[in-house]
Amino acid sequence: MIDRTIYDIFRRGSRTYFYSTLFFPPAVREDVFSLYSFVRTADDYVDAVPQEVEEFYAFIDRYAAAAAGETTGDVVIDLFVELAGRKGLDPAWTAAFLNSMEKDITVGSYRAIRDLEGYLYGSSEVIGLMMARILDLPPESHAAAQNLGRAMQYVNFIRDIAEDLALGRTYFPQDEMDRFGLDDLSATTASRDPRAFAAFVRFQLRRYRVWQEEAEAGFGHIPRRYRIPIRTASDMYRWTARAIERDPAVVHRRKVKPSVIRIVSGAASNTLKA
């Protein structure tokens, strides 16, 4: 039985992941809920307006206490620590994740793609590794799991350009913005030079597609009963990327997300194909 607190966190946090996850077998579904509620809670602290910095560091302290064997009474942390112990999640992965979340407090921009790589590893690649461990996938799957996490995160960066700017963050490399003649990624700059902005966004989408294709090349490592929700989530991110590629300026007008009907229909289609 999934705890109501983590159920609500997941349902509020991500439409695509939530409805895709419902297609996992019950035991796996519970583990994914525990993982997502932990990472979402940490992310929500640093994305709050104003940022809930003290609450974030208190969250880290509670996690450390739980990892040391203490029952904290925080269901999100206690369930995650139980999951981590049972499935053998590497503590270094959690440390990398929390370090990337802390960067959202201390770092607002990145000079080059190599400067962003550490953030991407902690914020997304380790989540792919944790999912691989939850699903008991072989080590040969790990590179694909990392690529899928990174690819999905990158689409989120593109989709959320306006939202991140409001939080004082730009995740895209400054040297690449310079190459396209963009001072920033604001709506004002995008409207002043729409061709350059569109070209920049499409350039970033090409990077996403390289990672996405490398990830999907590893789907053969995933048992068929688990492949349906993962393929569904992957398909929804491809849909989001296509929608933005057709009209890059849309990121300043609305948040591009697939509907519940599209997600569930996609999962049903993948079930039939399986």
Specify the pTM: 0.96
Tens-digit pLDDT string for the chain (274 aa): 789 999 999 999 999 999 999 999 999 999 999 999 999 999 999 999 999 999 999 999 999 999 999 999 999 999 999 999 999 999 999 999 999 999 999 999 999 999 999 999 999 999 999 999 999 999 999 999 999 999 999 999 999 999 999 999 999 999 999 999 999 999 999 999 999 999 999 999 999 999 999 999 999 999 999 999 999 999 999 999 999 999 999 999 999 999 999 999 999 999 988 7
* Whole-angstrom distance, CA of residue 145 vs CA of residue 222: 10
* Whole-angstrom distance, CA of residue 52 vs CA of residue 43: 10
- What burial class does residue 193 get, using C-beta atoms within 10 Å of its C-beta: 0-12 exposed, 13-18 middle, 19+ buried? middle
